[in-house]
Every structure is written in C-alpha cells, then in structure tokens.
Amino acid sequence: MERTGSNHFTRTVLTTRRRFRFFGLTTEDLIRSFFGGNAVVAIVVLALITIFLLKEGAGFFGQNRENLQIYRQAGLEYVDFMRGQVEGHTTLTRSLSALRLQQFQASTAAGLGAEAANAALTDFDAFSDKFSDTVTPLRGMVSDLTDVATAIKEKFIIAGDKREERRQLEAVGRDADAAKVQIAEVNFTTEIRPLLDARPAYLEASRDLGTALTALLAAAPVLAGPDAAVALEEFKATTRAYVAGFPEIARRVETWDYTLPVPLGKSLSAFVFGREWLTASFWQDWYGIIPLLVGSIMVSLVALLLAVPLGVGAAIYINQVATPREQQLIKPAIEFISAIPSVVLGFFGIAVLGEALRQLSGVSWLDWVPGFPFSERLNILTAGCLLALISVPTIFTLSEDALNNVPRSFKEASFALGANRLQTILRIIVPASLSGIISAVLLGLGRVIGETMVVLLCAGNRIAIPDFTAGLGVVTQPVHTMTGIIAQEMGEVVQGSIHYRALFMVGLVLFFIALAINYAAQKIVRRYRISIG
C-alpha cells in the first residue's frame, strides 16, 4: 500500500511539475538567449564602429565642398594661379643662389681666395640680381590681391559666425537679441570686382616678366668649368619651360569664373587625391589624404622589409632547425617581445634609436648607403625599425604555426627521396605552408599600419609627400601617418568642424584598410590551404 503511494507521489511530481515560463520561454531558453545576446556584442560593436565613423565622417564632404566653394568665390583660387607663378620664380632664384654657392666653393677649393672668388662671380651676381628683380612688379600685385581675397573670405566667415550666433539666440528664445545681430552679407559680385579688374594689369605684368626673362637668358654670363656650364644650361632650360607655361596660366586666369559651382565629386576627389593636408592656415585649408597615406605605406614597407626576413627566418629556425631546448626558451621570449607597449618603444626611438641611427649614418665608410648621412633623427627609417620589432612576434608566431601544420609525412617523403634538410625546408615545407606565412605577413602588416604611438613619436610628423627623387634615400625623410595625425590633432579640434570630420574620414579609411587586410589574410589561408591527408 505504502509502496504504491510513493510511486503515485513520484508520478504526480514528474507529470504535474509546472515549469517556470516567461513569455513562453523556459529558464533554459532564457539562459541560452542571455549568452547568445553576449555573443552578438561583437557584431554590434563592429556595426557601431562603422556607423559612428560614418556618422561623424559623412558630414565632411558637404563641409569640404563649402570650403572649396568659398575658395573659389572669394577669389583665392584665382590668386593661387598667380601665386604659383611667383613661387615658380622664387624656386628659380633659389637654384641660382645654389649654383653660385657651388661655383664659389669650387673656386676656393681650387686655391682662390674668397675675394678673388667673389670677384670672378661679379658678372654672375649682376645677372642673378637682375633675374630676381624681374618678378618684383608681379609679386607686389599678387601680394595686394592676396590681401583682397583674404578680406573677402574673412567677411564671409564673420557673416557665417553671426548667422550661427543668431540661430543660437533664436534657439533659446531670445528673439529680440537675435534680431539685433548684424549680419553683413557678402555680395561676391561686387567684392570680387577689384580682383577681376586687375586682370589686364596682371596679364601685362606676366607678359613683361616673360620677355624680361627671355632677354636675360640671352645675355647670361659664362661660367668657368664644364660642370658649371652644364648646370647653367640646365637652369636656362628650366627657366624657358617656366616661361613657356605662362600662356597656360594666363588662360586659366582669363577663363576663371567665380560663379561656377563646385560639384560634390570634387570634394571627394580633393580628399582622396589631395596632395596637401594643411590646417589652420591663414590662406586655405586642404584636407588631402595622400601625404598621410604615403607616409603610412612607406613606414609599413620599411617595417615589413625588415620584419619578414627576420620573422619568417626565426620561425623556420625554431620549427625546423633548433634544438628542443632552444625552442622552449626562444618561443616565449619572442612572444614576450610583443608585450612591450608601443609607447615605450616610441620613447626608446626618441631617446635612443633616432640618435643612434643618425650617428651611424654619419660614419664615413657608410656613405654609399642611399640617404646617408641624414640630419633628421626622427624619420621613416627610425619608425620602421621599431615597427619591425612590433610585427616580428606576430609574423613569427603565425608562421611557426603554419610550419607546424605541415604533415610529418611530407618531410619524411622528402628525406626518403634523398633530399637534405635545407632542400626539404625550402622546397617542401615552406611552399606547403606558404599560405599561412603570407597571411601571417598580412596580419603583421595590419598590426603595423594600425600602430599609433610609435609613428606619432618617431616618424618625424612632417606632413608632406616624401621626395621620391632621392631614390632609396627617401627612407631617411620624416613623414606623417594616418594614425599619427588622428592621435595628434583629434584632441585640439572643435567638435563638428570640418577638420574634426576630416579626421574621422581618415579613421574610416584606416578601418577599411584594416578590414581589407584581415579579409585577404583569411581568404588566402582558406583558399590555398593544401589538403592534408
């Protein structure tokens, strides 16, 4: 009797026990969806990054278009044509003085006294003075026009500020104060008149300059020495090319129209292909990503050139050649290097490596190295060396994994066919793991291109495209990078300004580059993985 009761009890408990339900979900389901929710965080964060970079960066194109529009409307573009002409002349004058210095040094080296050397150059000096004087009328005119254009732009900016002030007053409901705000609207048609009126005078001055230069070239003095003569001829040719460019400038000045609207595409191309990143300038701000992109790429290239042989070489050594004892010690040691914080490496670069490299470059028997000696201690090379140290552990660890995944049978088969160890490594094991090694290098590149502190501290931070005419010596020039510019300027910009948005655009470019590198690395691993079996 008792037994059946107990049975009955169990049965009732098992069948009638109600499960806790919440919106039709059991506890198990709730726990499950809680964990699932956490897994979604990764997707959410990735999406949020994209959204926020886009949200803050998207306004850039509209603002940059406005920026370019005012550049045109206020006549800055117009004056820039002429400024270009004057600057071209300045460059020529500078090359003349460089030529003089060379000549002077040559004659003093030949044993002439300083006075005698100067005396020999009297003709040349007279020529050079005349040459630099030719541009004076044009320069004065351009300087005046510069002031006019700047004034128009200034007026426009003030009007914009006032408008903003009124809008803000209206927003808080102080309409009476808002009405009091004086807005001096800029009438571009009348403001631009003085600029356009100067056109005939400019054209004449330009023509005069052309004839004066041509006449001067015909009466150029003769310099002693074959080298000097060649240099002078070169100078003459450059000057002739410069003068030949005048009609083109004149055509641009004549056809220039301040009413032409700036298309949105121009705003995009000014960012993507812009060769200048110039901010807080009295004249015109430019937001072109090319100098930063080139800087980032150059630094990364140098870093990879150093890191790939070292990283892959070390991986091959550890995986194939080293004794087990060496393996045990060196693997964690290299992993340990990756733990050095990048800001410490950057500091090391500033405090030690930069100076050390400069001293090294001054050593006389290293003269043959392109770019040596250099005077800037912070440059592409310094940053590249440190970045190499950062990326070596990544490349090493992943390559070593790839080498490790090559089946033993490959190696054994190779040995059985009579190959020695080197042949086996270079012909069998490395090719078999090549996809893994390439993806390791790509991930190393991703690490390097996204690295901030080292390049901010050690790349020299000069915003200009390095001078590629220096050949390989280009690596000893300072650059600025995409990551560096964000870190440097983000703290100082006004939120919502064009500069602020430009920095977010740079961030967006960086983000997509990183994604592309990552994607390529995964693709390569998956696609070219040899089937093991």
Subset of residues 382 to 421 that bind another protein, contact rule: CB under 8 A: 389, 392, 396, 420-421
Q: Which stretch binds another protein (CB under 8 A): 31-39, 154-162, 238-246, 260-268?
A: 31-39
Q: What is the CA radius of gyration of the chain?
A: 34
Q: Which stretch binds another protein (CB under 8 A): 29-37, 163-171, 285-293, 402-410?
A: 29-37
438 binds another protein (CB under 8 A): no
Q: How far is the CB of 215 from another protein (least distance, A)?
A: 53
321-329 long-range Cβ contacts below 8 angstroms, 24+ apart? 321/421
322 binds another protein (CB under 8 A): yes
Site residues (CB under 8 A) for another protein, limited to 277-306: none
327 binds another protein (CB under 8 A): no
DSSP annotation string for 366-429:
GTTSTT-S-S-SSSHHHHHHHHHHHHHHHHHHHHHHHHHTS-HHHHHHHHHTT--HHHIIIIII
**Exactly one of 291, 311, 384, 444 binds another protein (CB under 8 A); which one?**
311
Q: How far is the CB of 224 from another protein (least distance, A)?
A: 47
Residue (192 or 456) nearer to another protein, CB: 456
The 131-150 contact track toward another protein, x by CB under 8 A, reads: --------------------
How far is 378 from 455, CA to CA, in rounded Å?
9
Here the tokens at position 380 are 């592409």
**Exactly one of 216, 297, 369, 487 binds another protein (CB under 8 A); which one?**
487
Here the tokens at position 30 are 């709730």
Q: Which stretch binds another protein (CB under 8 A): 205-213, 285-293, 332-340, 430-438?
A: 332-340
Residue (298 or 510) nearer to another protein, CB: 510
Q: Which stretch binds another protein (CB under 8 A): 61-69, 83-91, 170-178, 422-430?
A: 422-430
Give the alpha-carbon dihedral of 293, 295, 301, 307, to 10 degrees: -120
Q: How far is CA 87 from the centre of its chain?
A: 25
Exposure on the CB side of residue 283, measured as CA atoms within 13 A: 12
User: CA torsion sign, 499 to 58 to 519 to 277?
Assistant: negative
**Exactly one of 14, 43, 280, 416 binds another protein (CB under 8 A); which one?**
43
173 binds another protein (CB under 8 A): no
**Exactly one of 456, 463, 475, 524 binds another protein (CB under 8 A); which one?**
456
Residue (458 or 474) nearer to another protein, CB: 458
How far is 198 from 196, CA to CA, in rounded Å?
5
Counting residues that bind another protein (by CB under 8 A) gives: 85
Q: How far is the CB of 100 from another protein (least distance, A)?
A: 37
**Exactly one of 270, 503, 524, 525 binds another protein (CB under 8 A); which one?**
503
**Exactly one of 25, 31, 158, 230 binds another protein (CB under 8 A); which one?**
31
Site residues (CB under 8 A) for another protein, limited to 352-381: 352
Here the tokens at position 231 are 């240099």
Q: How far is the CB of 533 from another protein (least distance, A)?
A: 21
346 binds another protein (CB under 8 A): yes
Residue (216 or 310) nearer to another protein, CB: 310
Residue (491 or 533) nearer to another protein, CB: 491
* Residue ranges in 110-198 assigned as alpha helix (H): 114-120, 122-133, 136-171, 175-180, 188-191, 193-197
444 binds another protein (CB under 8 A): no
232 binds another protein (CB under 8 A): no
Q: Which stretch binds another protein (CB under 8 A): 174-182, 247-255, 335-343, 470-478?
A: 335-343
DSSP annotation string for 149-170:
HHHHHHHHHHHHHHHHHHHHHH
Here the tokens at position 25 are 């979900």
Biggest alpha carbon–alpha carbon distance for the chain? 136
Site residues (CB under 8 A) for another protein, limited to 49-78: 49, 52-53, 55-56
Residue (224 or 344) nearer to another protein, CB: 344
Cβ atoms < 10 Å from Cβ of 127? 19
> What contacts 72, CB < 8 A, 6 or more positions away?
258, 260, 262
Q: Which stretch binds another protein (CB under 8 A): 141-149, 160-168, 230-238, 506-514?
A: 506-514
Cβ atoms < 10 Å from Cβ of 148? 18
Residue given tokens 């990551």 in the structure block: 483
422 binds another protein (CB under 8 A): yes
**Phi, psi (degrees; rounded to nearest 5) at 462:** -105, 120
Regarding beta strands 277-278 and 25-26, do their DSSP bridges make them parallel or antiparallel, or are they unpaired?
Answer: unpaired
